[in-house]
Structures are given as C-alpha cells and as structure tokens.
C-alpha cells in the first residue's frame, strides 16, 4: 500500500514542485486518492510535531464546504478533542449533504503532521473499516507531500518584515477590531497567499477557542500557530491571550516568525536531526564552527559535515543564507 500510495501521489509531487496553488494541490491530491479511498470531498489540515496545538498551519480543501469546516471546528473544541471523528448522519452533516466522514491522522516515524478528512455524500456508501485501514496507511506518503510543500517554498523571506499587529476576537470567535498593523498583515496575506481566504476565519476561531480552553485548563496547549513561507511568502506566527477585562475578548498577535520561535517548526519541516538542530541553533546565535565544536564535544570536521547536511536539506547556499532565512 505504501508503494502504491507513493506511485499514485506522483502527480501531487509534480504539482507542488511546479509551485501550484493550494486549490490545485488539493485537486491533484483528491484525484490521486480516489482510487485508493473513494470520496466526494477532501480536507487536509497540516501541522507539525513542534506545533503547540491543533489549528492547521496550512490546509488543502477540495469540494469541502468552508461553512461545514468551521462548524466542525467549533463543535470539536466544544467536545474537548480537535481530532475526534464526528458522528455521521446528524443534523449538521445532513445540512451539508454529507452521509459519511473519515478522519485519520497523518503520521510517520517522525511524528504527527496533520489530519486527512474525507467525506462521502448523503446516500452513498458509508466509510468502513477497510477504508480506514487504507487511509491510515497513506500517512507517511501524505507527510512527505506536506513536507515537500513547505520545503519547496522560499527559504529566504520574500515578503516584507511587517510590524506586529493585534486582532481582537469576540466571544463569537470572530474578529471585532484590529490595529492598523494587523490590517496591513491581512492585506499582505490576501495578496500573497496561496491558500483559500476562508482559512483566516478558521485560524482565528481556533486560536480563540483554545485560549478560552486554556483559561479552564492551565495544562492545555498554548494557542500558538506557525504558518510557513510556502503559504505566505515568509514564516508567520500567531499567538493569543485573553484580555484583562470583562469583555470575554481574546487578543491575537500576528507577526513575522523568526529566530528561536521559528527554529522548532523550521527544523521539523526540513527534517533536521537533533544534532543538526543544536548546531543550527548555535549558528543563529553567531557562534563560529570552532566554538560549536567545543561546546558540543565534537571535532570541527564533524560540525562542518553536519552543516553540509543542513545546507543540502534546506538548499541553502551557505551559512549566511541559512541564518538570514531563520533570523530575518
């Protein structure tokens, strides 16, 4: 099944390599998966092992109604499990003509990279255990597609370094107000994005819902989001916290993601080893190869060999380009 999946996803890899839009990638992905697990609509929500919580860093939608997606997000948070499968055949699904849903994690040996959600229309055959087994076995192949999508994007930022902006999200999980800097970010994302516009609403709702959950459960994951340059021209970060008043509002900060805050996600997507991560971290701190070698108990030769591996994985032309990509 793994080899079959890789063969079937060849056209998807080609679309990503050619810089296709999110909609085009989603369509290619759906076409490739139909012979393996028949479906009428598809949604892939991508995250990464370093992610703080559930909302997607980016996503692919094909014939999946945005209204249903947002409604499912709200209901999943209300149930306390963002990745829990919903109950097919209820009023919400019937309202959107859905008869059956299949929700599976996208995983490989490195960790979890998101979820694959497939829908079948009302009146069609229900998803069964064999469909679920086939879908789960697609995980590693789909994870490679997601990593390719991120790493095929620009290494160095192509978008300007905008000042941080703040968006106020009300108890209904919708934007109530925003600073001029936040509007500048929204305009930048509108003109440069390669993802559907309606995903903005899902991101805000997810951050808002998770912030409120954390108020009741201090152990819940922090509402933090890292979106890749492949989608937005540069890495973009969002984090949220409740306002210190009685309004019930949440403040969402949107800003360029750089340096130490970027490194965990950057290293995940580019498949850097633990040792390579240590070296890149020190490199971004301005350390020379000799200093890195001494602090890690390695030879300079070994450090340089690790750096060559990092340059190969990231397609960086050298130390300066790699550091600029992470810190600027």
pLDDT of residue 301: 97
- What is the mean pLDDT of the segment spanning 252-272? 94
In this prediction the pTM is 0.88
- What is the mean pLDDT of the segment spanning 187-198? 72
Q: What pLDDT, in 10s, does the model give residues 52-96?
A: 665 678 889 999 998 898 888 777 666 654 444 444 447 888 899
Instruction: Choose the weakest-confidence range: 73-77, 145-149, 293-297.
Output: 73-77
- What is the mean pLDDT of the segment spanning 306-310? 97
pLDDT grade for 218, boundaries at 50, 70 and 90: confident
pLDDT of residue 285: 94
Instruction: Choose the weakest-confidence range: 90-94, 115-119, 136-140, 159-163.
Output: 90-94
Across the chain, what does the average pLDDT equal?
Answer: 88
Q: SS3 letters for the chain?
A: CHHHHHHHCHHHHHHHHCCCCHHHHHHHHHHHHCCCCCCCEEEEEECCCCCCCCCCCEEEEECCCHHHHHHHHHHHHHHCCCCCCCCCCCHHHHHCCEEEEEEEEEEECCEEEEEEEEEEECCCCCCCHHHHHHHHHCHHHHHHHHHHHHHCCCCCCCCCCCCCEEEEECCCCCEEEECHHHHHHHHHHHHHCCCCCCHHHHHHHHHHHHHHHHHHCCCCCCCEEEECHHHHCCCEEEEEEECCCCCCCEEEEEEECCHHHHHHHHHHHCCCCHHHHHHHHHHHCCCCHHHHHHHHCCCHHHHHHHHHHHHHHHCCCCHHHHHHHHHC
pLDDT of residue 85: 47
Distance CA 201, CA 178 (A): 14
pLDDT of residue 82: 47
pLDDT of residue 203: 83
């Amino acid at each position: 099944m793994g080899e079959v999946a890789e063969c079937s996803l060849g056209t998807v890899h080609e679309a990503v390599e050619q810089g296709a839009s999110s909609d085009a990638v989603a369509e290619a992905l759906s076409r490739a998966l139909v012979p393996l697990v028949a479906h009428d609509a598809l949604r892939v929500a991508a995250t990464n092992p370093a992610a703080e919580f559930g909302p997607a860093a980016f996503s692919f939608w094909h014939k999946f109604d945005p209204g249903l997606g947002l409604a499912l997000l709200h209901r999943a948070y209300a149930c306390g499990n963002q990745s829990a499968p919903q109950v097919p055949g209820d009023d919400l699904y019937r309202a959107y003509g859905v008869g059956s849903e299949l929700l599976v994690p996208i995983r490989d040996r490195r960790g979890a990279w998101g979820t694959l959600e497939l829908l079948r229309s009302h009146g069609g055959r229900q998803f069964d255990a064999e469909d679920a087994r086939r879908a789960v076995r697609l995980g590693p192949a789909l994870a490679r597609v997601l990593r390719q999508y991120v790493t095929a994007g620009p290494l160095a930022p192509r978008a300007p370094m905008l000042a941080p902006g703040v968006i106020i999200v009300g108890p209904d999980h919708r934007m109530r107000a925003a600073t001029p800097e936040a509007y500048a970010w929204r305009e930048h994302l509108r003109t440069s994005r390669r993802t559907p516009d309606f995903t903005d609403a899902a991101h805000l709702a997810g951050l808002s819902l998770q912030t409120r959950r954390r108020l009741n459960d201090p152990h819940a994951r922090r509402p933090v989001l890292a979106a890749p340059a492949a989608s937005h021209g540069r890495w973009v970060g969002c984090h949220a916290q409740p306002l210190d008043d009685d309004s019930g509002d949440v403040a969402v900060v949107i800003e360029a993601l750089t340096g130490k805050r970027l490194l965990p996600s950057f290293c995940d997507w580019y498949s850097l080893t633990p040792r390579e991560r240590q070296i890149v971290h020190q490199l971004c701190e301005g350390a020379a190869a000799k200093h890195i070698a001494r602090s890690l108990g390695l030879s300079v030769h070994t450090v340089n060999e690790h750096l060559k591996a990092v340059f190969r994985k990231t397609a960086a032309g050298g130390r300066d380009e790699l550091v600029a990509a992470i810190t600027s």
